[in-house]
């Protein structure tokens, strides 16, 4: 099954997640892609080396500029996200910063959702601002707030959907349409970490670029740190040669690229199971007398239920809740857990529980958290692949506490 992505009709998502971008005939029949554990590549001649550096001849040069194992992963990710090209990076933050540093310059303006993963917020607040980039934080659930913030210097609009950690959902199609109506040059960038392309494909909804923490569901096994940017070939090439090669150097290791491809083979299956279990847990949490509010877009009572149904094929494995006793009750819940791990990160086989205000979103000041919609008592769960009753039993024990 060669180069399956180029065959018509297009193969199923799960088939492409297993085969896309790899031809075993070119690698001695090896079933899984070889790990090219090399920093540099020998040229046949001085002229060939020069031609590769000049971009006149295709072929590897040095692993900071690209590596064959990385390239297979990039082809596969581009295919799954329906993009022209992808760039794999050393972390999600490497992907986001490589994109920002490439697309922005002093004097530019960006619009970002008010709630972002803590380090993305820190990158904008402490990084971009330091270099003279202006930022407007708006509620991206309200498209009018975005369009009102756009100006002639706006270069990009950035948001997560669903949002880490409070699971607000943005109308990707509507935002992309309105922003591009204002100025088609503005890049709409969506962090698709919570969904993965198995659930949501922002480029198909009009976004320009997708970024990922591949550390999470794409890898899926809690054993690596990686990221990706997906979009049109020209922009990805720019990000590769500016933001990645020269500005961040956030290069993915060949072994990590291999592990992500191993994870991708089961991505669709895992997302189905994560979503099924998360819905059951969310329903039970919602009905539990100790719980004040449950955030999960798959609950029919959730304010984002209809929008999520429209743009997400499943509701995903992430949920959050607040207990009636607030922060103290949340901490005591966490400390009672036995099977569920108290850990940041998400998208693993193991169910993980963390407290955003003191952990992933501690980069915000308490005042910023209040203004940006991250409540102090919020508890976040990344629902794993264990048996649903085992997960619930542990949660129930925590709730009784």
Active site residues: 64, 117, 191, 216
Q: Which of 193, 236, 229 is nearest to 210 (CA)?
A: 229
Q: Does 71 bind ligand 4LM (CB under 6 A)?
A: no
**Shortest spacing between CB 116 and ligand 4LM, in angstroms:** 8
Please state, as a whole number, how many other Cβ atoms lie within 10 Å of the Cβ of residue 129.
Answer: 12
Q: Which of 79, 113, 160, 178 binds ligand 4LM (CB under 6 A)?
A: 160
3-state SS, residue 112: strand
Question: Measured on CA atoms in the order 288, 292, 298, 302, is the torsion positive or negative?
Answer: positive
> Cβ of 322: how many Cβ atoms within 10 Å?
20
Return the closest-CA partner of residue 179 out of 212, 155, 203: 155
- Total residues interacting with ligand 4LM, rule: CB under 6 A: 18
Strands (E), 98-200: 109-113, 134-138, 154-160, 187-191
Q: Of 60, 155, 164, 152, nearest to 99 (Cα)?
A: 155
| Residues 350-379 contacting ligand 4LM, CB under 6 A | 360
* 69 is a contact residue toward ligand 4LM (CB under 6 A): no
Of the pair 22, 158, the CB lying nearest ligand 4LM is at: 158
Q: Footprint of ligand 4LM on residues 223-252 (CB under 6 A)?
A: 225, 227
Binding of residue 125 to ligand 4LM (CB under 6 A): no
Instruction: Provide, rounded to whole angstroms, the least separation between the CB of residue 256 and ligand 4LM.
Output: 11
**34 DSSP assignment:** P
Q: How far is the CB of 158 from ligand 4LM (least distance, A)?
A: 11
3-state SS class at 307: helix
Contact call for residues 97 and 127 (beta carbons, < 8 A): yes
Is 128 in contact with 110 (CB distance < 8 Å)?
Answer: yes
Which residue number, 20 or 213, has a Cβ lying nearer to ligand 4LM?
A: 213
Show the site string, 193-212: x = touches ligand 4LM by CB under 6 A, - = not: x-------------------
Select 18 or 379, whichever has its Cβ closest to ligand 4LM: 379
Residue 225 CB, shortest distance to ligand 4LM, in Å, is: 5
> In the complex with ligand 4LM, which residue's Cβ is closer, 60 or 92?
92
Among candidates 324, 348, 305, which has minimal Cα distance to 399? Answer: 324
Least Cβ distance, residue 253 to ligand 4LM (angstroms): 13
Tell me which of 345, 362, 363, 368 binds ligand 4LM, using CB under 6 A: 345
Of 11-19, 20-28, 113-121, 130-138, which segment contacts ligand 4LM by CB under 6 A? 113-121
Enumerate residues 162-181 that contact ligand 4LM by CB under 6 A.
Answer: 164
Q: Report the residue number, 69 or 161, with the smaller CB distance to ligand 4LM.
A: 161
Q: Is 191 in the site for ligand 4LM (CB under 6 A)?
A: yes
Q: Which residue is nearest to ligand 4LM (CB)?
A: 92
CB atoms within 10 A of CB 7: 11
* H helices present in 123-184, as ranges: 143-149, 172-182
Q: Three-state secondary structure along 192-224?
A: CCCCCCCCCCHHHHCCCEEEEECCCCCCCCCCC
Shortest Cβ 167–ligand 4LM spacing (Å):
12
Report the residue from 63, 67, 70, 91 that binds ligand 4LM according to the rule CB under 6 A.
91
Which one of 70, 215, 235, 351 is in contact with ligand 4LM (CB under 6 A)? Answer: 215
Which DSSP category does 177 fall into?
H
Is 344 a binding residue for ligand 4LM by CB under 6 A? The answer is yes
Query: Degrees (nearest 5) of the Cα angle 223, 88, 138?
Result: 95
Return residues touching ligand 4LM (CB under 6 A).
Answer: 91-93, 117, 119-120, 160, 164, 191, 193, 213, 215, 225, 227, 344-346, 360
């Amino acid at each position: 099954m060669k180069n399956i992505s180029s065959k018509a009709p297009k193969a199923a998502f799960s088939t492409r997640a297993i085969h896309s971008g790899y031809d075993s005939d070119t690698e001695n029949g090896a079933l899984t892609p070889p790990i090219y554990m090399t920093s540099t590549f020998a040229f046949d001649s001085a002229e060939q080396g020069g031609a590769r550096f000049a971009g006149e001849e295709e072929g590897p040069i040095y692993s900071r500029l690209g590596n064959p194992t990385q390239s297979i992963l990039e082809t596969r990710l581009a295919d799954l996200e329906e993009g022209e090209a992808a760039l794999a990076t050393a972390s999600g933050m490497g992907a986001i910063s490589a994109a920002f540093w490439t697309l922005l310059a002093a004097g530019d303006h960006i619009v970002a959702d008010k709630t972002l993963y803590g380090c993305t917020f820190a990158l904008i607040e402490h990084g971009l601002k330091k270099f003279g980039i202006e930022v407007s934080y708006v509620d991206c659930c309200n498209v009018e707030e975005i369009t009102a913030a756009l100006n002639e210097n706006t270069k990009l609009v950035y948001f997560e959907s669903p949002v880490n950690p409070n699971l607000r959902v943005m109308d990707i199609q509507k935002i992309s349409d309105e922003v591009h109506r204002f100025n088609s040059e503005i890049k709409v960038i969506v962090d698709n970490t919570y969904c993965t392309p198995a659930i949501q494909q922002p480029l198909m909804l009009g976004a320009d670029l997708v970024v990922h923490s591949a550390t999470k569901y794409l890898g899926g096994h809690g054993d690596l740190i990686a990221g990706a940017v997906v979009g049109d070939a020209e922009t990805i090439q720019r990000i590769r040669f500016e933001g990645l090669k020269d500005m961040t150097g956030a290069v993915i290791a060949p072994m990590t690229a291999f592990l992500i491809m191993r994870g991708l083979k089961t991505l669709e299956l895992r997302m189905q199971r994560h979503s099924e279990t998360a819905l059951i847990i969310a329903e039970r949490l919602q009905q539990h007398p100790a719980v004040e509010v449950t955030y999960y877009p798959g609950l029919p009572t959730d304010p984002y239920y209809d929008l999520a149904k429209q743009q997400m094929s499943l509701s995903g494995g992430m949920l959050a809740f607040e207990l009636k006793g607030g922060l103290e009750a949340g901490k005591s819940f966490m400390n009672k857990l036995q099977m569920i791990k108290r850990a940041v990160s998400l998208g693993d086989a193991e169910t993980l529980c963390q407290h955003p205000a003191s952990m992933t979103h501690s980069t915000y000041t308490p005042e910023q958290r209040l203004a940006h919609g991250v409540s102090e008592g919020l508890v976040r769960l990344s629902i794993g692949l264990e048996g649903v009753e085992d997960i619930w039993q542990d949660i129930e024990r925590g709730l009784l506490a």
